Amino acid sequence: MGKIILGAVLTAMAVFGWEAVSWTALGWHQNGFRAFRDESKVAEVIKANVTSGHGIYLLPAMGEAPKIATAEEKKAFEEAQQKAMKNGPYVYAIVRPGKSDYSMGMNLTLSFIRCLVCALLIAALLSQTALFYPARIAFVAAAGLFAGLAADLPMWIWFENPGRDAVVNIADHLIAWVIGGAVLGIFVGKDPVAER
């Protein structure tokens, strides 16, 4: 158990370190970010039109026709929504309309805790395997690839996240957990033993 915990802590440090480099030094995430032409005007419109504070907002908001609407009104409502979705603009955004108690220290702490929980989970799985060291790295890397496919690909499929950003995010998960696997594989897992 001690080796699993030590391996998970060192793995979390390695993954956390990679993520710091990935987000602050490489610039490959930020290269996909876009800016509005007149941010102050867009900010005014957002502040004036938020309906319930901090949250995820969609434009067009895909709702349901009023319950008292006739069949023709419901059909017209649905057609108008489909037209708005097709013609744009389309926005999927996390909106915070006012001030925040943003803390880089708290965010870094939470990020490290997330890395540690992930490392403990994959360490528990890896401890049940009998794999040579390169295969242990591949096992952990596959978990990173799974995380990217499960978390980032749906954003491309359903919310129009640009393909370039989906690829970068998935690659980031994969690289992080190749590095994590290289560390974790030293401490966790057993070499296969041939039976006679």
The reply to whether 59 falls in a domain is yes
Q: What is the pLDDT of residue 194?
A: 66
The reply to whether 176 falls in a domain is yes
- 81 and 143 together in one domain: no
- 23 and 110 together in one domain: yes
Range of the domain at 167: 2-34+101-187
- 81 and 167 together in one domain: no
- 86 and 145 together in one domain: no
The reply to whether 86 falls in a domain is yes
The reply to whether 162 falls in a domain is yes
Whole-number Cα distances in Å, 106 to 68, 78, 110, 111, 114: 48, 44, 6, 8, 12
- 78 and 63 together in one domain: yes
What does the radius of gyration of the chain's CA atoms come to, in whole angstroms? 23
- 107 and 181 together in one domain: yes
SS3 state at 134:
helix
Q: Count of residues for the chain?
A: 196
The reply to whether 146 falls in a domain is yes
Provide the number of structural domains found in the chain: 2
What one-letter code names the amino acid at 69?
A
- 84 and 105 together in one domain: no
- 24 and 117 together in one domain: yes
Q: What is the pLDDT of residue 6?
A: 94
- 182 and 113 together in one domain: yes
Q: What is the pLDDT of residue 103?
A: 87
The reply to whether 196 falls in a domain is no
C-alpha 55/C-alpha 34 separation (Å) is 20
Max intra-chain CA distance, the chain: 77
Q: Are 161 and 100 in contact (CB under 8 A)?
A: no
Q: Are 120 and 130 in contact (CB under 8 A)?
A: no
Residue 130: phi and psi, rounded to 5, are -125, 90
* pTM: predicted TM-score of the whole model, two decimal places: 0.82
Q: Where are the alpha helices (DSSP H) in the chain?
A: 2-21, 39-49, 71-87, 104-126, 133-151, 153-159, 163-187
The reply to whether 78 falls in a domain is yes
Q: Tell how strand 55-59 and strand 91-95 pair up.
A: antiparallel
Grouped pLDDT means (10 residues each) for the chain, 196 residues: 92 95 87 87 90 84 81 86 86 85 89 96 94 95 96 91 91 96 92 72
The reply to whether 156 falls in a domain is yes
C-alpha 155/C-alpha 150 separation (Å) is 9
- 61 and 110 together in one domain: no
- 115 and 150 together in one domain: yes
- 30 and 106 together in one domain: yes
